[in-house]
Structure 1
Amino acid sequence: MNQQALSAFLWSVADLLRGDYKQSDYGKVILPFTVLRRLDCVLAGTKPAVLAEHKAKTAQGLNPDPFLLRVAGQSFFNVSPLDLKTLMGDQDHIRENLFGYLGGFSAAVRDIFERFEFATQIERLAKANLLYQVTERFTQVDLHPDAVSNHQMGLVFEELIRKFAELSNETAGEHFTPREVIRLMVSLLFIEDDDILSKPGVVRTIYDPTAGTGGMLSIAGEYIDEHNPKARLTVFGQELNAESYAICKADMLIKGQDVSKIVFGNTLADDGHPAERFDYMLSNPPFGVEWKKVEKEVRREHETQGFNGRFGPGLPRVSDGSMLFLLHLISKMRPLVEGGSRFGIVLNGSPLFTGGAGSGESEIRRHVLENDLLEAIIGLPTDMFYNTGISTYVWIVSNKKPAHRKGKVQLIDATGFWQKMRKSLGAKRKELSDDHITEVTRLFGDFLEAEKDGRPISRIFKNTEFGYRTITVERPLRDEAGRVVLGQKGKQKGKKQPDSSLRDTENVQLTEDVEAYFKREVLPHVPDAWIDHDKTKVGYEIPFNRHFYVFQPPRSLEEIDAELKQVTDRITAMIKGLSA
């Protein structure tokens, strides 16, 4: 069954719920039942052997769990004699039997259904006399991995979540990232390590602090499997949304991952992996979402732990917490002596330039650039994400830059790399093709400046080119007679006093000498000015679009005049026609 047909079948369950459930609540039934059927199908082939092993080991007084996992061939099992199809044989006791079947799962699976609050929906369906019909509908579809691959299943979950989010006016994009954007990020993440990752038996870790339904972790795993089936990628994650967490955990269970490494909770307020450092990381934190709910915890960590904590460099304004995730990922990088790290994070335009010198945002950028952590920023087309049409950027950050990248940052303008989708999905109207992903990855891998159709698409800068000093320019305070006022006491005695109403600031690039700039740009206009060096601040910004701006000369006056004459002639002819 293809993905569209499967999504349509699962969506058809909504016909049974209509009237007893609001549209916005359909997902509370369909999502957990889809997960249950998937797990049910996965365990079907080993069910008799698991039951026999459970009986034997229990009779011997042994803990059966490790034996059951081996017999099941999975990282989970079910010891109930029931499954979804046998439940159909006793319509009168469907509620009790379904609870019994769920209770037979191993602890990790029971946690998944608790996150879904599935027990509440079972009771609600039973009272509405719908439980048997809904369960029966799900037994009609084969969700075994042989019939529906893990990749397909992930797409199905995302399609369902998107539909449910639209019905309840929620933002589906908070739960997942378009698959082709993840493929691009994964390609950028791994391209410089292809030699290492191709070695047999290599083991690496990957982490997503905003895991959603697990799409980023899954695609990273698929990439490694394709390039080196003998390599092993251990996944870690954390997710705040209960439904997304449950789906992610179920997906990882079926793929044989250790689901204890997928943690529920708010990453910023309570780091679920405090002692861990990772080889690779990926994240698409929510855009423009305020962090007021966790402000107390974040500020406490910033103030009490400083650079020993996650948020030492600075804090962004409360209205947008995405740069906190950038700092969080930096804190999770494996030290260079242990192999180092690389990560990719999706951010909107704000982290590139918001905040002047000395602000939290500028200090975060300063920390990233002065520690030579930023490898590249890739500008993506607009209308790429499900819940927003704004410009987005992929930052590639690493503490193990190859020698030719040291001290430099590559900017890639991929805003023109897209194809129109046959059908829009929410705000998403554009997508990256495989060729687009290959081309952007090649631009990154080549680390060269490049043009396309006469426009720059790849540029390379020194880190210092993004830095500047904000200097404070003072002018003297004068009394009513126009005389310069001098200080009378202490360190200011005999010194010219500044007039705060005439105070101004200038931004001077780090690559330029401040005194030379001041003599050239300021003194010719205000000869009595001076710089208060005590007030100088260093700032950093990355004016991405400015670096790719191509000047379009205005049209000639002759061309404009000719066009105006055409318009006026047409208007004159229309007036004559009306008066005739």
Structure 2
Amino acid sequence: MNQPSLSTFIWSVADLLRGDYKQSDYGKIILPFTVLRRLDCVLAPTKEAVLAEWASKAAVDLNPEPFVLRKAGHTFYNQNPLDLGKLLGDPDHIAQNLDSYVQGFSAEVRDIFERFEFQSHVERLAKAGLLYPVTEKFAQIDLHPDRVSNMQMGLVFEELIRKFAEISNETAGEHFTPREVIRLMVNLIFIEDDAILSRPGVVRTLYDPTAGTGGMLSVAGEYLLEHNPQARLSVFGQELNPESYAICKADMLIKGQNVANIAFGNTLSDDGHAHQHFDYMLSNPPFGVEWKKVEKDVRREHEQQGFDGRFGPGLPRVSDGSMLFLLHLIAKMRPADQGGCRFGIVLNGSPLFTGGAGSGESEIRRFVIENDLLEAIVGLPTDMFYNTGISTYVWILSNRKPEARRGKVQLIDASGWWQKMRKSLGSKRKELGEAHIERITQLFGDFVAAEDDDGKPVSRIFDNEAFGYHSITVERPLRYKDGDEHGQPVLGTKGKQKGKPQPDPALRDTENVPLSESVADYVTREVLPHAPDAWIDPEKTKVGYEIPFNRHFYVFKPPRPLEQIDAELKASTDRILEMIRGLSA
């Protein structure tokens, strides 16, 4: 059964729930039952061997767990003789038997169903007389990995979550990222390490602080397996949404990953991997979501720990916490002297330029660029994500830049590279094709300036300081308006200001001077010819950073010649007059 057919089949369970459940509650039933059936099918081939092993070891007072894990061939097991098919043989006791079956799983699986609050939903289904038909429906489908691959299963979960989020008016995009975007990000963080990753037995760690259902972790694992079947990728993650966390944990269990590495909770206020560092990281934090709920904890860490904590460089405005995840990832980078780290994060346009010099956002950009961490930013097409049509950008950061990249930043404009989807999914109407992913990856790997076939720039290389500026305060003298001193500057009378012209707040202005230019030269050229009495207050000068991405790819198109415009207007006027004459005839 292919993935769309499977999703449609599972979705048909909603027909059973209609009337007894609100649409917004369908996911609370369908998602855990899908996970249960997947686990049921995965364990089926070794079920009898596990039961026999459990009985034999329990009979001689040995702890059966380590023995049955070997028999199961997975990092989890179920020691109850029931399965979904056998549950149907006793309709009168299906609720009790289903609970007994779930309790027969190993501890990590039981935790998954606790996150789903599965027991309470089973009781509600039983009272409504729906538990048997729902169980029967799921018992009919074969979700063994031989029939439905891990990648297909991940897509099934993502499609179901998206559908449930849409009918619940929730934000589907907070839970997962389009797979082609993940493939691009994985390409970009691994591209320069192919030689290392192809070594036999290589072990690397990957972390996602906003793991969702585990899509990024899964795609990265698949990439590494394709390139080096002998390589091992240990994945780590954290997720706030209980249902997404449960699905991610189930997926990691089936793939043999250590599910203790998947933490539950809010990454910003309760770091589930404190003091750990990683080789690679990926993240798609929520766009434009405020962090007021965790503000107290974040500010405490910022103020008390400074640069020893995660948020030393600065704090963004409370209305958008995406840059906090950027700082969190930077704090998680494996130190350069221990091998270093590269990571990719998806952000909207706001982190590129929001906030003037001295603001939290600007200070974060300053920290990133002055520490030479930013390798590249890739501008993606609009309408790429399920919950928003806005422009998005992939930032690639590394503390082990190759020599050619040191002190430089690459900007890649891929906003025009997309193909239309056959069917829109929420706000997602466009997708990256394989050719687009390869082209972007090649541009990044080549690290050169480039243009498209029409001569429009698509890749540009800049020195780090190109994004910095001095924000200077230009003062003009306050002048007397009445009396004998009319028009004369007002001079200070005390302290350091004694005898000096006093500034007029109404005439005060600020200007940004590129870091590559002398402030004195700028003032001489741009300010004094227009205001000879102006001066700069050096105490108010601040250093700021912004990345005006779109400006660097803007191509001026001169207007058409005036003669051509006149000719077109005359032709239009003549057509209108001809039409009027025809009506008058």
SS of the counterpart of 1:46?
Answer: helix
State the one-letter code of the partner of 1:404.
Answer: A
The yes-or-no answer on 1:558 pairing with 2:559 is no
- Shift of residue 568, structure 1, vs aligned partner: 1.5
CA deviation vs aligned residue, 1:195-228 (integer Å, no higher than 9, x gap): 1100001100000000000000000000000000
Runs of 4+ aligned structure 1 residues displaced above 3 Å come to none
Matches of 1:118 and 1:559 in 2, distance apart? Answer: 71
SS of the counterpart of 2:236?
Answer: strand
- Shift of residue 504, structure 1, vs aligned partner: 1.1
Matches of 1:363 and 1:62 in 2, distance apart? Answer: 59
SS of the counterpart of 1:235?
Answer: strand
- Shift of residue 490, structure 1, vs aligned partner: 1.7
State the one-letter code of the partner of 1:506.
Answer: E
SS of the counterpart of 2:379?
Answer: strand
State the one-letter code of the partner of 1:105.
Answer: F
Corresponding residue number in structure 1 for 2:476: 475
State the one-letter code of the partner of 1:249.
Answer: K
Corresponding residue number in structure 2 for 1:462: 463
SS of the counterpart of 1:300?
Answer: helix
Aligned counterparts, 1:533-548, within 5 A? 533-548=538-553
Matches of 1:379 and 1:260 in 2, distance apart? Answer: 35
2:514 corresponds to which of 509, 514, 518: 509
- Shift of residue 462, structure 1, vs aligned partner: 0.2
Corresponding residue number in structure 2 for 1:199: 199
Corresponding residue number in structure 1 for 2:504: 499
Aligned counterparts, 1:78-477, within 5 A? 78-453=78-453, 454-477=455-478
State the one-letter code of the partner of 2:475.
Answer: E
- Shift of residue 494, structure 1, vs aligned partner: 2.3
Matches of 1:88 and 1:477 in 2, distance apart? Answer: 89
Matches of 1:256 and 1:531 in 2, distance apart? Answer: 63
Matches of 1:27 and 1:363 in 2, distance apart? Answer: 42
The farther-off stretch of 164-173 and 435-444 is 164-173
State the one-letter code of the partner of 1:563.
Answer: E
CA deviation vs aligned residue, 1:450-473 (integer Å, no higher than 9, x gap): 000210000000000000000111
The farther-off stretch of 395-404 and 501-510 is 501-510
Matches of 2:363 and 2:259 in 1, distance apart? Answer: 36
Corresponding residue number in structure 1 for 2:12: 12
Corresponding residue number in structure 2 for 1:579: 584
State the one-letter code of the partner of 2:582.
Answer: G
1:525 corresponds to which of 530, 547, 552: 530
Matches of 1:122 and 1:522 in 2, distance apart? Answer: 74
The farther-off stretch of 192-201 and 566-575 is 566-575
The farther-off stretch of 369-378 and 154-163 is 154-163
- Shift of residue 92, structure 1, vs aligned partner: 0.7
For normalisation by structure 1, the TM-score amounts to 0.99
Aligned counterparts, 1:35-54, within 5 A? 35-54=35-54
State the one-letter code of the partner of 2:412.
Answer: I
Matches of 1:574 and 1:358 in 2, distance apart? Answer: 63
Matches of 2:158 and 2:456 in 1, distance apart? Answer: 36
- Shift of residue 171, structure 1, vs aligned partner: 1.5
SS of the counterpart of 1:472?
Answer: strand
Matches of 2:145 and 2:508 in 1, distance apart? Answer: 69
State the one-letter code of the partner of 2:516.
Answer: T
SS of the counterpart of 2:68?
Answer: helix
State the one-letter code of the partner of 2:7.
Answer: S
Matches of 2:164 and 2:92 in 1, distance apart? Answer: 31
CA deviation vs aligned residue, 1:131-168 (integer Å, no higher than 9, x gap): 01110111110000000000000011111111111111
The yes-or-no answer on 1:34 pairing with 2:39 is no
Task: Tell me the number of residue pairs that the alignment of Structure 1 and Structure 2 aligns.
Answer: 580
The yes-or-no answer on 1:485 pairing with 2:490 is yes
SS of the counterpart of 2:377?
Answer: strand
Matches of 1:287 and 1:506 in 2, distance apart? Answer: 30
The farther-off stretch of 490-499 and 299-308 is 490-499
- Shift of residue 380, structure 1, vs aligned partner: 0.2
CA deviation vs aligned residue, 1:473-492 (integer Å, no higher than 9, x gap): 11222223222222222222
Matches of 1:86 and 1:25 in 2, distance apart? Answer: 27
SS of the counterpart of 2:56?
Answer: helix
Structure 2: where are the runs of 5+ without partners? none
CA deviation vs aligned residue, 1:246-294 (integer Å, no higher than 9, x gap): 1000000000000011011000111110021000000000001111111
State the one-letter code of the partner of 1:507.
Answer: N
SS of the counterpart of 1:45?
Answer: helix
State the one-letter code of the partner of 1:90.
Answer: D
State the one-letter code of the partner of 2:157.
Answer: F
Matches of 2:275 and 2:50 in 1, distance apart? Answer: 36
CA deviation vs aligned residue, 1:418-469 (integer Å, no higher than 9, x gap): 0011111110000000111000000000000000021000000000000000
CA deviation vs aligned residue, 1:472-526 (integer Å, no higher than 9, x gap): 1112222232222222222222222222221111100000011001000000011
SS of the counterpart of 2:318?
Answer: coil
State the one-letter code of the partner of 1:151.
Answer: M
SS of the counterpart of 1:388?
Answer: coil
- Shift of residue 100, structure 1, vs aligned partner: 0.3
1:567 corresponds to which of 572, 575, 578: 572
State the one-letter code of the partner of 2:355.
Answer: G
Matches of 1:435 and 1:250 in 2, distance apart? Answer: 33
Structure 1: where are the runs of 5+ without partners? none
The yes-or-no answer on 1:74 pairing with 2:74 is yes
SS of the counterpart of 2:421?
Answer: strand
- Shift of residue 4, structure 1, vs aligned partner: 1.0
- Structure 1 vs Structure 2: percent identity of aligned residues? 78
Matches of 2:63 and 2:128 in 1, distance apart? Answer: 40
Matches of 1:261 and 1:127 in 2, distance apart? Answer: 37
CA deviation vs aligned residue, 1:41-79 (integer Å, no higher than 9, x gap): 000011111111111222222222111111101010001
The farther-off stretch of 374-383 and 156-165 is 156-165
Matches of 1:310 and 1:301 in 2, distance apart? Answer: 8
State the one-letter code of the partner of 1:68.
Answer: V
The farther-off stretch of 164-173 and 219-228 is 164-173
CA deviation vs aligned residue, 1:347-373 (integer Å, no higher than 9, x gap): 000000000000000000000000000
Matches of 1:195 and 1:555 in 2, distance apart? Answer: 53
State the one-letter code of the partner of 1:235.
Answer: V
For normalisation by structure 2, the TM-score amounts to 0.98
Matches of 1:295 and 1:151 in 2, distance apart? Answer: 37
State the one-letter code of the partner of 1:496.
Answer: P
State the one-letter code of the partner of 1:541.
Answer: E
Matches of 1:339 and 1:150 in 2, distance apart? Answer: 31
Matches of 1:15 and 1:494 in 2, distance apart? Answer: 85
The farther-off stretch of 1-10 and 460-469 is 1-10
- Shift of residue 172, structure 1, vs aligned partner: 0.9
- Shift of residue 579, structure 1, vs aligned partner: 2.5
State the one-letter code of the partner of 2:524.
Answer: K
- Shift of residue 170, structure 1, vs aligned partner: 1.1
